[in-house]
């Protein structure tokens, strides 16, 4: 599990998405810009976060957010009904 560096600050967050409103771009291979970290916060349900460089898979839930480092290719997939949002840090 990745962790945020101590020297980053939140600067933006998305709306809350559910299983039917997840943007298509999040369901396919994508990455964050250099210097930008993402934190996937689950409000309800479970989501799979897969890192494509090493095949590592994390199951995210309300008590287990996902941290995505800059420039790391990844994708997500809902396991069930889910509500979540993404915070961006730099």
Confidence band, pLDDT 50/70/90 cuts, at residue 43: very high
What's residue 81's pLDDT? 94
> Which domains are present in the chain?
10-89 (2.60.120.10)
What's residue 1's pLDDT? 79
Q: Are 50 and 26 in contact (CB under 8 A)?
A: no
Q: What percent of the chain has pLDDT over 70?
A: 100
pLDDT digits (tens, 9 = 90+) for 56-82: 999 999 999 999 999 999 999 999 999
Tokens of 52: 């494509």
Q: Determine the average pLDDT of the residues in 43-54.
A: 96
Instruction: Tell which residue, 56, 63, 52, 60, has the closest CA to residue 82.
Output: 60
Task: Give pTM, 2 decimals.
Answer: 0.95
In sequence order, what DSSP letters do the residues of the chain get, joined into one string?
-----TT--EEEEPPPEETTT--HHHHSSB-PPTT-EEEEEEEES-EEEEETTT--EEEEBTTB-EEE-TT--EEEEESSS-EEEEEEE-
pLDDT digits (tens, 9 = 90+) for 12-41: 999 999 999 999 999 999 999 999 999 999
Q: What angle do CA 42, 23, 39 make, to 5 degrees?
A: 35
């Amino acid at each position: 599990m990745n962790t945020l560096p101590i020297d980053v600050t939140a600067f933006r967050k998305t709306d809350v998405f559910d299983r039917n409103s997840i943007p298509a771009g999040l369901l396919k291979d994508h990455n964050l810009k250099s210097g930008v970290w993402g934190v996937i916060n689950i409000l309800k349900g479970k989501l799979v976060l897969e890192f494509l460089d090493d095949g590592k898979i994390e199951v995210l839930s309300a008590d287990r957010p996902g941290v995505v480092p800059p420039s790391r290719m990844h994708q997500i997939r809902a396991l069930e009904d889910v509500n979540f949002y993404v915070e961006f840090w730099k």
